[in-house]
Amino acid sequence: MTPEELDAAISKAADYLKVARRVAVLTGAGVSAESGIPTFRASDGLWEGHRIEDVASPDGFYRDPKLVWQFYGGRRANVATAKPNPGHLALVALEDRWGEDFTLVTQNVDGLHQDAGSRRVLEIHGSLRRTLCLKCDEVQDRGLGPLGDAPECHCGGRLRPDIVWFGEGLPVDIWEEAQIKASECDVLLVVGTSAVVHPAASLIPIARQTRTPGAKVIEVNMTRTEASALADVGLYGPSGQVLPRLVKRLGA
């Protein structure tokens, strides 16, 4: 995309937003890339030679819980030193403008949207900061400090990260609300996601098709993705640069 094309696309996206009553956003790993958090599918979907599906699945955890906790220990330590970037902050500015009519649905588990100041956040894939006890089901916020590679609950049960792994259902209430917000919005911003993981990616057709006319879809990404064919406008560049420009164009 040339600078002129990007500028025209930002204007078009701002025009859609200006007349929108309700706005929803779907974010993925790309929005945190400029904070130094690697995306999933950048390095062939591998972590130290292991397939992501093997360290982020119930089978992987039962096979080798220590390996899985080492993976999450590294992720938690990385996020502990990360700061929200201008893309996260631009989404806070949009929330300030739309208030209750704004919802941010995130696939990210890093909590950087909340660190930036976003309040209406639906974490559909869980959080790196929480643990879930396999014995008593208690969910605890443990922050981002080290937990070791075999953490236990106060009840003696084994803990796992409170993250939605491959093959697991999304948290029912949160997922239902995300679908409602997508079906009700006038604009859906899709930021920094490859849109290959379901059911998260189905929020895009839900936004477009539930009502007539459907929502306008604005994609913000480095490249075209699975979502691009459904987007009314694509803003191809780093979200930490593109989103602040969009906010500025809006006069938010």
* 14, 52, 105, 133: residue in contact with Zn ion (rule CB under 5 A): 133
In the complex, what is the shortest distance from the CB of residue 104 to ligand BJW, in angstroms, rounded to a whole number? 14
Nearest CA to 131 among 65, 63, 199?
A: 65
Give, to the nearest 10 degrees, the angle between helix 3-18 and helix 239-250: 50
Closest to Zn ion by CB, 101 vs 152, is 152
Show the tokens assigned to 57.
Answer: 């699945």
In the complex, what is the shortest distance from the CB of residue 152 to Zn ion, in angstroms, rounded to a whole number? 8
| C-alpha to C-alpha distance for 101 and 31, rounded to whole angstroms | 21
Closest to ligand BJW by CB, 28 vs 111, is 28
Site membership for Zn ion, residue 93 (CB under 5 A): no
DSSP 82: -
Picked from ligand BJW, Zn ion, none, the partner binding residue 153 (CB below 5 to 8 A depending on kind) is Zn ion
Closest to ligand BJW by CB, 13 vs 164, is 164
| C-alpha to C-alpha distance for 161 and 109, rounded to whole angstroms | 10
Picked from ligand BJW, Zn ion, none, the partner binding residue 155 (CB below 5 to 8 A depending on kind) is Zn ion
Task: For residue 50, give the 3-state DSSP assignment.
Answer: strand
Site membership for ligand BJW, residue 218 (CB under 6 A): no
| C-alpha to C-alpha distance for 242 and 118, rounded to whole angstroms | 18
For 135-147, give the DSSP string.
TT--EEE-TTS--
Q: Write the CA distances from 2 to 32, 243, 246, integer angstroms.
A: 24, 17, 16
Closest to ligand BJW by CB, 62 vs 166, is 166
Residue 9 is which amino acid?
A
Site membership for ligand BJW, residue 169 (CB under 6 A): yes
Site membership for Zn ion, residue 134 (CB under 5 A): no
* 13, 24, 29, 79: residue in contact with ligand BJW (rule CB under 6 A): 29
Task: For residue 71, give the 3-state DSSP assignment.
Answer: helix
* 117, 157, 205, 244: residue in contact with Zn ion (rule CB under 5 A): 157
- Interacting span for ligand BJW (CB under 6 A) from 12-20, 29-37, 76-84, 150-158: 29-37
Residue 249 is which amino acid?
R
113 is catalytic: no
Q: Could you tell me how many residues make up the chain?
A: 252
Active-site entry in 50, 125, 154, 198:
125
In the complex, what is the shortest distance from the CB of residue 6 to ligand BJW, in angstroms, rounded to a whole number? 13
Show the tokens assigned to 145.
Answer: 């400090």
Q: State the catalytic residues.
A: 125
Q: Which residues bind ligand BJW (CB under 6 A)?
A: 28-30, 33-34, 39-41, 56, 107, 109, 125, 163-164, 166-169, 192-194, 196-198, 221-223, 225, 238-239
